Amino acid sequence: MNLLHILICFLRSFTYIVEIILIQEDKKLAITVFSFPPDKGNVGTAAYLNVFSSIFSVLKELQSDGYNVEGLPETSEALIEDILHDKEAQFSSPNLNIAYKMNVREYQALTPYATALEENWGKPPGNLNADGENLLVYGKQYGNVFIGVQPTFGYEGDPMRLLFSKSASPHHGFAAYYSFVEKIFKADAVLHFGTHGSLEFMPGKQVGMSDVCYPDSLIGNIPNVYYYAANNPSEATIAKRRSYANTISYLTPPAENAGLYKGLKQLSELISSYQSLKDTGRGQQIVSSIISTAKQCNLDKDVDLPEEGVELPTKERDLVVGKVYAKIMEIESRLLPCGLHVIGEPPTAMEAVATLVNIAALDRVEEGISSLPSILAQSVGRNIEEIYRSSDKGVLKDVELLRQITEASRGAITSFVERTTNSKGQVVDVSNKLTSILGFGINEPWIQYLSDTKFYRGDREKLRILFEYLGECLRLIVADNEVGSLKQALEGKFVEPGPGGDPIRNPKVLPTGKNIHALDPQSIPTTAAMESAKIVVERLLERQKIDNGGKYPETVALVLWGTDNIKTYGESLAQVLWMIGVNPIADNLGRVNRVEPVSLEELGRPRVDVVVNCSGVFRDLFINQVSVITPLFGFCYCLKRLHKLK
C-alpha cells in the first residue's frame, strides 16, 4: 500500500469520525435516486420500493431526530412534484428540477479526472446533463438534505460498449453530479436509495479499487450508505466491494397468488359445476363448455384437448377436466410481488399472512419442521408428493384435494395471524400474544380452524412445532429497523450485519435493516437446498416422463446463475447434482469439496445427463464448486457406460 492509499484511507476514516462528532442539525445528507431498471424506468424508481414515499417517511423520522430538512413538503406527492414536476418523468424529461448549474471551468477544477473522460465524451460539457454551456445537476435541497437524481450510464444505445471497452468511462454529467455532492454541497454522507444505481458498475477493477477505478474516483471520500433489497445479496456485494457501501436491507413485498380473471375464472366455475353435476345427464355438455372455454384461453397450447362435441366416456372426461383444472390451479397459484414496500412501514396482517403461507409450504429438515401442506395431506392418509404428482397428471380428485389443502393452509395461518392484530389490522406485540396462544391445545387458533375441515386429524405436535416457528418468523417480519439502522450509520455507528437472500427460504434474512452479506461460496449446496432440489428434480423428471410417453429424458440443459444460487444457498447446483445422481459431502467446517454417487437402486431412475451453462457471476464466485462438478460428468458417464455393459 503506497502513501496515497494510506492518505485516502485516513480521509475516509476521518469523515466517519466527523459524522460522530457533528450534531444532527449540522449534518449534510445527499440522497440519490435512480431510474430503475437503469436508464429504462421512470426517475425515482427502485426494485420493490416506493421510493418517494420512503424518502418522505425517512426524512420525517430524521426531522424528529434533529436533522435540518427545512422546506420539506407536507406529502410525498408534493415531494415528487418539487423534484420531478412530473411523476412519470424519464431522465431525458425537461421537467426535472435543476438544483445547480456547473460551468466548465468549475467542473474541471473540482474533478481531477475530467481529462480522462474526454477520450470517450469529448470536451465538457458534452450532450448529457448539459445545456450547451453548463453541466446540470438535477434535484432539490431541503435545509441540509439534498435529494439528487443520479445521471444515466450514458451508453443506452450501446450497453455492450460499457462492458467490453477498455477505455469506457462515466460521462461528464455523471462526474459533475458526484463532484457537486462532495465539494459544493459538501455532504457528510450520501444515501443511495434503493436497488440499484450505476455508480458501482462503472469501469474499474472488480475488487480492491484504486484511484484509476471510476467508482473510487466518483465516490471520493464520502461515506456511502445504500438501501438495498434484502433478496439481492450478490449485487449488494458489488456495491460494497466497488463503492464502499454500508448496505441497509429493506423488505421486499410479500408474494401473493396471482388469482384468476375473465375466461380463467369462468373456466374454474365450469369445473366446479362439473364436479357437482358430472353424474347427471349434463356432464358431457359441461365438459364441451370446458373444452371450448379452455381453447379460448389458449390452454390448448399447454394441455392436450379433444375436439369439441366429441362424446367421451366418464373416465376420459374426468381426465380432461383434471388436466385443465391442474393448469388453471398452476396459473392461480403463481406468486407475484404484492405492491411496493415503504421504508419504515412494517407489513399489514394480510401481507404477513402471504409471507407466512409461503414459509409454511417448505419442509425444513435441518430444523425438524414439516411443511403445513405435508401435515394436512398426512391427516387424510396421503403423501403430499403423491398428490402433487397426481395433480400434474390431471387426476381430478387429487387436483381438488390440492386446492383444499392450499385453502386450508391459508385459513389456518390467517386465523393465527389475526390473534396478533389490533383493530387497524396491524400486527402488534407479537411476542406476548404468541405466548398466550401457543400450547393450549384445542384453543390454538389453527386447531380451531382445522376442526371444521376434513383435515381435523392433523398431527398436533407437528402443527405446534410449525406454528412456533411461524410465530418467530412473524416477529421478525414485523420487526422494523430499516430507519433505525440508517440513523446508526449516519452517526458513524456499527450496523449489524446479516445474510441476504430469499426470506421465504431463509427467514434469518429477517428482520431487515441489516448490513447485507452473502454466503461462504464453499458451503453450497446446503442440506436444505439439496432436499428442496430433490423434490423439484423428481417432479420435473416425472412430468417429462409423462410428456415423453413414459420415458425419462436422456439430457437436460440448465443454467447456473450466481444470484439465484446465492438466494437459494445452491439449490440450482443441487438440482444438477441430483439429476446425475450424486450427493454433496461437506467437511467438518461445512465446506463442500467432494461428492458421492447414489446407487441406481436408491435413485429409482436412470441418471440424467446435464448440459450446464454457468453465468459469469457463478463462475467467478463459485470457482470451488466449478472445480468439483467439472470432473463429475466424466465420472458419471463412466458409471452409465458400466451399467449398460452389465
Q: What DSSP letter does each residue of 44-90 carry, written as one string?
A: T-BTTB-HHHHHHHHHHHHHHTT---TT--SSHHHHHHHHTSSTT--
Same domain, 152 and 241: yes
Look at residue 99 and tell me if it is in a domain. Answer: yes
Buried b (16+ CB within 10 A) or exposed e, 78-110: ebbbbbbeeeebebeeeebbebbebebebbbeb
Per-residue pLDDT at 104: 92
Q: State how beta strands 189-193 and 224-229 pair.
A: parallel
Residue whose cell numbers read 366455475: 269
**Alpha carbon of residue 643 to chain centroid:** 42
Same domain, 328 and 369: no
Look at the chain and report how many structural domains it folds into: 4
Q: Is 165 left (phi over 0), alpha (psi -120 to 50) or beta?
A: beta
- Torsions phi, psi for 195 (to 5 deg): -95, 120
DSSP 184: I
Ranges of residues in the chain with a pLDDT under 50 are 39
Same domain, 467 and 596: no
Q: Is 374 left (phi over 0), alpha (psi -120 to 50) or beta?
A: alpha
Per-residue pLDDT at 592: 82
Same domain, 315 and 396: no
Look at residue 12 and tell me if it is in a domain. Answer: no
Q: State how beta strands 224-229 and 134-142 pair.
A: unpaired
Integer Cα distance of 344 and 193 in angstroms: 13
Per-residue pLDDT at 426: 67
Per-residue pLDDT at 338: 79
Residue whose cell numbers read 453548463: 134
Look at residue 302 and tell me if it is in a domain. Answer: yes
Look at residue 90 and tell me if it is in a domain. Answer: yes
Per-residue pLDDT at 13: 55
End-to-end C-alpha distance for the chain, whole angstroms: 62
Q: Which domain holds residue 405?
A: 346-479
- Whether the CB-CB separation of 512 and 250 falls below 8 Å is answered with yes
- Whether the CB-CB separation of 86 and 157 falls below 8 Å is answered with no
Instruction: With 0.85 as the threshold, say if the pTM is over it.
Output: no
Same domain, 275 and 224: no
CA 171 → CA 39, 149, 193, 215, 364, distances in Å? Answer: 14, 15, 21, 13, 50
Q: Give the domain-ending residue among 302, 332, 362.
A: 332
Same domain, 361 and 437: yes
Within 13 A of 343's CA, how many CA atoms are on the CB side? 33
Per-residue pLDDT at 250: 93
Q: Give the domain-ending residue among 283, 306, 332.
A: 332
Integer Cα distance of 63 and 24 in angstroms: 9
Same domain, 306 and 206: no
Peptide bond into 196 cis (omega under 30): yes
Same domain, 326 and 268: yes
Q: Give the domain-ending residue among 279, 307, 332.
A: 332
Same domain, 377 and 413: yes
**Alpha carbon of residue 14 to chain centroid:** 35
Same domain, 96 and 189: yes
- Whether the CB-CB separation of 607 and 581 falls below 8 Å is answered with yes
Q: How many residues in total does the chain contain? A: 646
Instruction: State the amino acid at position 265 in one-letter form.
Output: K
Look at residue 512 and tell me if it is in a domain. Answer: no
Look at residue 501 and tell me if it is in a domain. Answer: no
Same domain, 429 and 350: yes
Nearest to 30 by CA among 226, 213, 228: 226
Per-residue pLDDT at 219: 93
DSSP 148: E
Look at residue 102 and tell me if it is in a domain. Answer: yes
Look at residue 492 and tell me if it is in a domain. Answer: no
Integer Cα distance of 211 and 377 in angstroms: 61
56: Cβ contacts below 8 Å, ≥ 6 apart: 72, 73, 75, 76, 79
Q: State how beta strands 224-229 and 245-250 pair.
A: parallel
Per-residue pLDDT at 349: 81
Same domain, 221 and 277: no
Per-residue pLDDT at 397: 86
